[in-house]
Amino acid sequence: MGRTGDYAVLLGPPVVVGSAVGFVLLADEPEAFLPLLLVLQPLTTLGIVVGLVQLTRSTRGPSTFRLVVFDGHAAFAARPTFRRQCVFNGLLSAALLLMAINGLRVPGRIVPTLAWAILVLNAFAVALLLFRMIRSGPLVITPAGVAIDGGRTFVPWAALEGGPESPQWTLAHPELVRGRPIRRFQPGQVVPLDVSLWFLFRSIHSYLDHPERRPAIGTPEELDRLRGALARQPT
């Protein structure tokens, strides 16, 4: 499940814009709508640009693996994070909401109809992201394998094989995967993870290449060793 802050970032901007516009309309002060529009529209547009830049940035820094208990055993987990998506989509939703409400005030049928269509599509897009966030789960590295999305899919180590180049690896035996079937295993592409993907791929490859280290997964000492071994990360 997504973090509380991610939900606030996603829903906060449209709620603030909707409340401000609703207050102006309920106060029966139509002349105040234009100044409000002139203030909010540039702010939301600037926020969208900032959010788009954030989406293009690569994850850097040390891993954010944490120690957890999964299926009765200690393990390493990378939590899902939707913050960058929520910043962009929240501000985009607020801008579309402001534009649609402005369109509803235009006389005629065509512009108000388009405005209603924008409101419906906007609500549908936000609902899809919320559904994805609610159903998301951590990626967990365990002594027995890798649990995806909180365990909906479990990939045992025997299902993976090393790739042609280090640290590549492939899902060589999909028939061994338990739970929700997957055709290929690329962690972090379906659900954003709060961990450097370079670190994640190298971590999985490390345990694939050195099975003798797997029993130590879930211990603080092994996590420290893993972080130290993979401390240098390309950007």
What are the pLDDT digits (tens) for 143-200?
999 998 888 889 999 998 877 666 678 888 888 989 887 777 777 666 778 887 788 8
Band (215; pLDDT cuts 50, 70, 90):
very high
What are the pLDDT digits (tens) for 5-14?
888 888 988 8
pLDDT at 22 over 50: yes
Quick check: pTM over 0.75? Answer: no
- Is the model more confident about 31 or about 83? 83
User: What value does the mean pLDDT take over residues 96-118?
Assistant: 82
DSSP state string for 54-102:
HHHSPP-SS---EEEEETTEEEEEE-B--HHHHHHHHHHHHHHHHHHHH
Measured between alpha carbons, how far is residue 191 from residues 1, 6, 141, 143 in Å? Answer: 11, 14, 16, 22
**Looking at residue 220, what is its pLDDT?**
92
Mean pLDDT of the chain: 81
- Is the model more confident about 215 or about 229? 215
d(CA 30, CA 105): 10
d(CA 229, CA 214): 15
User: What value does the mean pLDDT take over residues 124-133?
Assistant: 90
SS3 content of the chain, % helix, strand, coil (to 5): 60, 15, 30
**Looking at residue 235, what is its pLDDT?**
42
- Is the model more confident about 22 or about 12? 12
d(CA 42, CA 20): 15
